[in-house]
Amino acid sequence: METFLAVQEPLAASGVAEYGWLLIALPLFGAAVLLLGGRRTNAWGHLLGCATVIAAFVYGLALFLSMTGMPADERVRELHLFDWIPVNALNVEFGLRIDPLSMVFVLLITGVGALIHIYSVGYMSHDQAGRTGADNTERRRFFAYLNLFVGAMLILVLGNSFVTLYLGWEGVGLASYLLIAFWQHRPAAATAAKKAFLMNRVGDVGLALAIFLMFAELGTTQYTEVFARAGEMPTGVLLAIALLLLLGACGKSGQFPLQAWLPDAMEGPTPVSALIHAATMVTAGVYLIARSNPIYNLTEDGRLVVTIIGALTLLIGAIIGCAYDDIKKVLAYSTVSQIGYMILAVGLGPAGYALGIFHLLTHGFFKAGLFLGAGSVMHGMNDEVNMRRFGGLAKHMPITFVTFGLGYLALIGFPFLSGYFSKDEIVAAAFAQEGWRGWVFGGAAALGAALTAFYMTRLMLMTFFGEKRWKGQKSADGREYHPHESPASMTVPMIVLAFGSVFGGVLLYSGDRLLGWLEPSLGAVAHAEGGALPHSVIPFLVVGLSAVGVLLAWLLVGRRPVPATAPAQVSFPVRAARADLYGNALNETLFARPGTWLTRALVYVDNRGVDGLVNGIAALLGGSSGRLRRAQTGFVRSYALSILGGAVLLTAALLMVRFT
């Protein structure tokens, strides 16, 4: 552990950073105005929603620039806001931790958030006209929830204690729930929201238990103190905390075995999928593990479990992604898989924390762009999501095609686009592990790259190339397809994100810009040499494997006509993938069924034992209450007697205590 830089003592915030609370206050203010203002704010609600997030972004940028001017060891700042719960031993203060790691997230959240707010102005106005008439109430509600999400997410990343993080964690969970169920009239959306809510609770319980454990062991939940004193905890407790935090991360980030809610969450409006379920909220798990790096540094077993979960998830996500025909679900499984990469990276310890964050950033750009592109396609295709109905759209939506294509290339790791740098680094770091781990994790990561190339190429081919399978067809609501390019408010954010997907990697990677920047928060990156494969071979390996994936996709999908309905007679692997690799069945077996048994057993015990006891106690209390009531006779003289009796008893007791 010598390579890892000790956790820095934070300095008090000064200068621009003193107003750090504005970051959180602005979006929350927007949400409050929009929710409480009611119909009066319908007309300009969406503009306010955009304005608060853009203002937060501008402030975040100013803060970032002011920090770049500081020496590296002064970049970790704490801003004490107020004592939140000062009750005896439990003293939670509400403060912000402004350091390189949280700043990276602030810029990602407010930057991508601002773009997606702007995109939503166009996207939701269309939605409104098509569905419920001229009233803009729905759009206002949408922007209120989006602002609420941004505020909560900023609390999550800026908080300086685990309790504050938990507050934001639940806040984003709430916003996510509200937004998935935004179209409540669709039963699928309501069900998906419920599923997301429940599976997130499983994770949240893990996080809450981890915080309780920390508090019980150390008596504090502030980052600085927990991290400085993490070494005092016994190894068993450390491992337990690490695993419980991982459980929390799995729930929020859609990692195995809690991944099934994320694809279902695509029932929400597409900007929500882009912002919350691709770029920001689902990466909170990665943030949590990276933030807790001093804890994970101390427990190698904990890190190993993290790595295994990451590797497993990245393969599962990629395999299932190959089988789906729903464009948003493919992208959703791609997200699951890419977050698997990040979790794998942060599980590698000091060698990987910063790499995970690096991939998180580049992924934030290209995946948000891909989702916005998918939204644009749906926008032009009567909200159709089935790729078997697409085809040949490149000509009809040129801007969407180009931006989507760039995002696609970035995702599959086309040389010198952003995904190339971040993914290669992770694969290399995985191969650099010692012994069997290098081969296993490196192999999984490299195989995942090939699979990614396969399913994304399939998606591109089915959507933008080939014959126009939508001709002469009608969508579910009985309209004909007239694909058209989307309005500027939608294409401009896509273009900006495409730029990010193309150049983001180079900009952040060259000269170790990002990795060096993150050093005060995450420690220096340990570039491990050796291991299973030499570092120089990796890029060729990954690019080669990706090329194989692209080629396979072309052979299987591009060369032949795509049937309009999915063929039923397929081999077992495809069937398994279509069934989410039995993820739901697994969840059922792991959580639902034991839960049901447990409930049944409890109900049995409850009916026989507890209920009897409770009923007995209730009857006892009720009976004694009914009898004691009679003592309240309504006669003032009997009340006086009770006072006199009480006084005599009390005085007698006092004298007895004294004189016996």
Partner 1 sequence: MFQATLGSQDVAQSAVNIPEIDWQAISPVVVVFVAACLSVLVEAFLPRERRWSVQVTLSLLTVVVAGLALGLYVNSDAVVGTGGITVAGQAVPLFSADYPALFLWGTLLALSFGALLLIADRSVDGGAFASPVPPAPGGDPVQYQAPGRQTEVFPLALFALGGMMVFLAANDLLTMFVALEVLSLPLYLMCGLARRRRLISQESAVKYFLLGAFSSAFFLYGLALLYGYAGSVRLVDIAAATAGTDRPETLLYAGFGLLVVGLLFKASIGPFHAWTPDVYQGAPTPVTAFMAACTKVAAFGAILRVLTLAFEASSWEWRGVLWAVAIVSMLIGAVLGLTQTDMKRMIAYSSIAHAGFLLVGAIAMTEDGLSGTMFYLLAYGFTTLAAFGIITLVRDGNGEATHLSQWAGLAKRSPLVAVTFAFLLLALAGIPMTSGFMGKLAVFSAAIADGMAPLVVVALLASAIAAFFYLRVIVLMYFSEPAQDGPTVSVPGAFTTAAITLGVVVTLLLGVLPAFALDWASVGGFVS
Partner 2 sequence: MTPTYYLLLSALLFTIGAVGVLVRRNAIVVFMCVELMLNAVNLSLVTFARINGELDGQIMAFFVMVVAAAEVVVGLAIIMSIFKTRRSASVDDANLLKY
CB of 92: closest distance to partner 1 in angstroms? Answer: 9
The reply on whether position 637 binds partner 2 by CB under 8 A is yes
Q: Which is nearer to partner 1, 89 or 216 (CB)?
A: 89
CB of 595: closest distance to partner 2 in angstroms? Answer: 46
CB of 172: closest distance to partner 1 in angstroms? Answer: 18
Q: Cis ω on the peptide bond leading into residue 415 (within 30° of 0)?
A: no
The reply on whether position 633 binds partner 2 by CB under 8 A is yes
CB of 29: closest distance to partner 1 in angstroms? Answer: 16
Beta carbons within 8 Å of 45's beta carbon, 6+ residues apart: 34, 37, 136, 139, 140, 143, 144
The reply on whether position 635 binds partner 2 by CB under 8 A is yes
Answer yes or no: are the C-beta atoms of 304 and 343 closer than 8 Å: no
d(C-alpha 3, C-alpha 457), whole Å: 41
β-strand partners of 480: 474
Q: Which is nearer to partner 2, 563 or 626 (CB)?
A: 626
Mutual angle of helices 513-522 and 353-380, in 10-degree steps: 120
Answer with the entry of partner 2, partner 1, none that 625 interacts with (C-beta below 5 to 8 A by kind). partner 1
Among candidates 285, 579, 330, 289, which has minimal Cα distance to 460?
330
The correct pick among 12, 579, 603, 644 for binding partner 2 (CB under 8 A) is: 644
CB of 170: closest distance to partner 2 in angstroms? Answer: 45
The reply on whether position 602 binds partner 2 by CB under 8 A is no
The correct pick among 236, 629, 656, 657 for binding partner 2 (CB under 8 A) is: 629
d(C-alpha 278, C-alpha 366), whole Å: 10
DSSP state of 580: G
CB of 95: closest distance to partner 1 in angstroms? Answer: 12
Answer yes or no: are the C-beta atoms of 67 and 75 closer than 8 Å: yes
CB of 640: closest distance to partner 1 in angstroms? Answer: 6
Q: What residue ranges bind partner 1 (CB under 8 A)?
A: 82-90, 621-622, 624-626, 628-629, 632, 634, 636, 638-640, 642-643, 645-647, 649-651, 653-655, 657-659
CB of 414: closest distance to partner 1 in angstroms? Answer: 50
Q: Which is nearer to partner 2, 472 or 634 (CB)?
A: 634
Q: Which is nearer to partner 2, 478 or 626 (CB)?
A: 626
Q: Phi, psi (5° rounding) for residue 269?
A: -60, 150
d(C-alpha 251, C-alpha 247), whole Å: 6
**One-letter amino acid of 119:** Y
Tokens of 169: 């964690």
d(C-alpha 425, C-alpha 413), whole Å: 11
d(C-alpha 129, C-alpha 38), whole Å: 20
The reply on whether position 476 binds partner 2 by CB under 8 A is no
Answer with the entry of partner 2, partner 1, none that 510 interacts with (C-beta below 5 to 8 A by kind). none
Q: Which is nearer to partner 1, 132 or 638 (CB)?
A: 638
The reply on whether position 627 binds partner 2 by CB under 8 A is no
d(C-alpha 383, C-alpha 312), whole Å: 33
Q: State whether residue 84 is helix, strand or coil.
A: strand
β-strand partners of 82: 94
CA distances from 409 to 194, 212, 425 (A): 35, 44, 17
Residues contacting partner 2: total by CB under 8 A: 11
Q: Which is nearer to partner 2, 488 or 644 (CB)?
A: 644
Q: State whether residue 410 is helix, strand or coil.
A: helix
Q: Which is nearer to partner 2, 184 or 638 (CB)?
A: 638
Answer with the entry of partner 1, partner 2, none that 630 interacts with (C-beta below 5 to 8 A by kind). partner 2
Q: Judged by CB under 8 A, which stretch of 182-190, 322-330, 452-460, 637-645 contacts partner 2?
A: 637-645
Answer yes or no: are the C-beta atoms of 218 and 229 closer than 8 Å: yes
Answer with the entry of partner 1, partner 2, none that 651 interacts with (C-beta below 5 to 8 A by kind). partner 1
Q: State whether residue 633 is helix, strand or coil.
A: coil
Interface with partner 2 by CB under 8 A: which residues?
629-630, 632-637, 640-641, 644
